[in-house]
Structure 1
Amino acid sequence: MSFLNSLNISASALTAQRQRLDIISENVANIDTTRTEAGGAYRRKLVVLEDKAGDLSFKDSLNRAVVEKDANGRLVRQDYSPGVRVSAIVEDQSALKTEYNPQHPDADADGYVQRPNVNMLEETIDSMSASRSYQANVVVLNAVKLMAQKALEIGK
């Protein structure tokens, strides 16, 4: 694997974790939203990550990574972009919270208000996980950069 592939993998992970943090921020910002444009209380959103290669088997992934020779004997590499991507942003279908508050403008006939299914503890843990993943990929980027600098110094 070339160092450029390493950079691409880490860059895709940074992008995915940034989007994950954006969704977590949106969830926290809407923790008290009882009315949305779609109607009803806000539903927690979740980020679904997947391998950029899709549903390739290990054998197929290995074959794509192998350097081959073309008809002229030159080394060629199949076009393959490893990494991670956000495949979907889905709404959490767990039950909404209910709260008895007959004075609330969104209360039903019985006086109950539908509250978002956002749990601050879960969002905090998810944000810590996304931040740690982001930091780990920054470390990888810096390590690859340092290796490239040291390789350039060899030629001096």
Structure 2
Amino acid sequence: MSLSNVFDIAGSGMNAQSIRINTTASNIANAESASSSVDETYRARKPWFAVMQKAHLEVNEHNQFQELTGNTGAGVQVMGIVEKDAPLQLRFQPDHPMANEDGYVYYPNVNIVEEMTDMMASSRSYQMNVEVLKTAKQMLQRTLTLGQ
């Protein structure tokens, strides 16, 4: 693996964690948004990540290229953003302007503690990818000064 691959991998990790932070912020912002029906209620969202695979080639005994059996990771990709299937919160608030005919108000299935934990984890992961980029940059700079 060359150092240029490190930049691609860390960059994909930073992009993925940025999307994770944005979806978490959206969940927190909508945590107390009320609705009078199930269909109109905000549902918590989570990004779905997958490993980007990169096949490697090797030269066999006949001087022919062949693909290695095991693929190695080449970063992370965001496959999509999915809604959580946890049940919505139903609260009896007959005086609320969004209350339905039975006096109930629907609230999102957002767990603030879980969202804050996700926010801290994604922030730290983003920071670690930044550190990887800094370290790779320093290694390249030191390599360039070896000939001096």
Q: TM-score, normalised by structure 1?
A: 0.81
| 2:68 aligned partner | none
Deviation of residue 155 (structure 1)?
A: 1.6
CA RMSD of aligned residues (A): 2.6
The structure with more strand, counted as a fraction of residues:
2
Write the mapping of 1:19-58 to structure 2, written as runs, cut at 5 A.
19-35=19-35, 39-53=39-53
The structure with more helix, counted as a fraction of residues:
1
Amino acid at match of 2:108: P
Q: TM-score, normalised by structure 2?
A: 0.85
User: Aligned match of 2:91 in 76, 79, 99?
Assistant: 99
Instruction: Give the whole-Å Cα distance in 1 for the aligned partners of 2:59 and 2:25.
Output: 45
Q: How many residues align?
A: 141
Deviation of residue 65 (structure 1)?
A: 2.7
Determine whether 1:133 maps to 2:121: no
Structure 1 runs of 4+ off > 3 angstroms?
A: 66-69
Structure 1: 5+ residue runs without aligned partners?
A: 54-60
Instruction: Give the whole-Å Cα distance in 2 for the aligned partners of 1:67 and 1:131.
Output: 38
Instruction: Give the whole-Å Cα distance in 1 for the aligned partners of 2:130 and 2:114.
Output: 24
Determine whether 1:65 maps to 2:56: yes
Give aligned-pair identity as a percent: 36
Structure 2: 5+ residue runs without aligned partners?
A: 66-71
User: Aligned match of 2:102 in 110, 130, 137?
Assistant: 110
